[in-house]
Amino acid sequence: MQSFTNKEQVIADAGSVTIHSGNILHKILRTSQEICQSFCGTVKQWTADKSEIPSITTQCSHGGVFINNEKDTEWSKERNRDDIKLTVKLFLWKNDAEIVKEAVLTVIDYYQCEKIDLLLLSLPPTSNCPHNTFRSVKYQDIREVWIQLCNLAADGFITELGVCDMDEPSLKDICESSDVKPVANQINLQECCHPPKNLSAYASEHHIKLLTHNDPNDVLPEDTLQFVLPASDKNRSWKPCYLTRYSAVIRLREIVMLKGYFLCMKATKES
């Protein structure tokens, strides 16, 4: 247990760091840079706070540091779990199945909320068309990640699975290759005012909801990363592993209760 240690040193020594933005619902009203603003000052506030670092819980079981400033978690004040819909969008930088499990369990453990109702998987842009908002993927490439998610679903941690930015062939490939089919495909409405016809048709035929998002291709550009957690020395830099955005909405009243992010980064040595 480290107490009164220089928290900055803790971060500098850590192999990985998971930062929780806290409930940003009220914080982000006046800004357009949501992700950036959500983490604004989070690390600074944590290092400035002289209280003890709580013992590492399961979320960072590989020895990472959990940076969080929220004192109490607002979840489920006299509310039934069934009255709330928790949607989590998982942004990955690599197709890493282990990371997926950690990302999912972090949210559930933090809020003690049993499960995620809808998990949307967002893969990094494919190298062949990085600027295209639609991803063109083959199921084979994402198989491990998808199976991991299906296992988590089978274990009761996720109710429904969805994907993001899939074009029609990719969506078709997943649906035909996996027993568990995505229930939703979340696409970017800014770039395309109307979804491509083949995608709409396929989604409609297979009862896949087309949802919308406004996230850019590069959801965590370099300068945002530096802003959130600057590298402490020249030989190390932080690389993102995953970013989850969660949103808890009261069903049938459509009132948002919570919104926030978890960002996990690994330290890499520059050679």
Partner 1 sequence: MGILEYDGESLNWNEIKLYAKYVKKHGIVQFLNNYQRLLERPVDILKWGDEVEYMVIRFDHKNRKVQLSLRGDAICNILQEKENSGIVNLPSSWRHEYASHMLEGTPGVPYQGDMAQFKYVESNMEMRRKEIQELLQPNEQIMTLTAFPRLGCFNYTNPSYKADSAKSNQICQSLFIPNEAIGSHPRFLCLERSIRERRGERVSINIPIFKDTSTPSPFIEKFNDPEANQAAKPDHIYMDSTSFGFGNCCLQITIQGSNMDETKLLYDQLAPVCPIVMALSAAAPIWRGYLADVDVRWPVIEQGVDDRTREERGLEPLVNNERVIRRPRFGSINSYLHKESRKFNDVAIEIDLETKYTLLDAGVDQLLAQHIAHLWMRDPLTLFTNNIEVDDKKVTDHFENIQTTNWHSLRFKPPPPGSDIGWRVEFRVCEVQLTDFENAAFSVFVVLLTRVILTYNLDFCIPLSYVHTNMTKAQKNNAINLEKFYFRSNIVSCCCRNSDCKNHIISDDESLTEEHFQKMSINTIINGKKDVFPGFILLIQKYLGSVDVDIDTRLKINEYLDFISNRASGDYMTAAQWMRHFVTSHPEYKQDSVVSDSIAYDLLVRCDQIQKSKVKCYQLFKTAA
Q: Give the interface segment with partner 1, choosing from 54-62, 92-100, 104-112, 209-217 (CB under 8 A).
A: 209-217
Which residues fall within 8 angstroms of residue 213, CB to CB, at 6 or more apart? 89, 164, 186, 187, 188, 189
Q: Give the interface segment with partner 1, choosing from 58-66, 171-179, 190-198, 217-225 (CB under 8 A).
A: 190-198
**Alpha-helical runs (H) found in the chain:** 7-13, 34-38, 42-48, 97-111, 139-154, 168-177, 197-205, 222-228
Per the listing, tokens 């590298």 go with 231
Strand-pairing partners, residue 184, are 162, 209
Q: Which is nearer to partner 1, 128 or 214 (CB)?
A: 214
| 1 near partner 1, rule: CB under 8 A | no
The first and second tokens of residue 53, run together, are 């670092």
Question: Looking at 234, 252, 269, 270, which residue binds partner 1 (CB under 8 A)?
Answer: 252
CB 88 within 8 A of CB 250: no
Q: Which is nearer to partner 1, 97 or 211 (CB)?
A: 211
Q: How far is the CB of 125 from partner 1 (least distance, A)?
A: 21
Binding residues among 23-52 for partner 1 as defined by CB under 8 A: 25-26, 28-30, 34
Q: At residue 179, what is the residue type?
A: D
Binding residues among 76-135 for partner 1 as defined by CB under 8 A: 85, 87, 118
Instruction: Give the H or E element holding residue 87.
Output: strand 84-92
Q: Quote the radius of gyration of the chain (alpha carbons, Å).
A: 19
| 209 near partner 1, rule: CB under 8 A | yes
Q: Which is nearer to partner 1, 23 or 59 (CB)?
A: 23
| 256 near partner 1, rule: CB under 8 A | yes
Binding site for partner 1 (CB under 8 A): 25-26, 28-30, 34, 85, 87, 118, 184, 187, 189, 193-195, 209-214, 247, 249, 251-256, 259
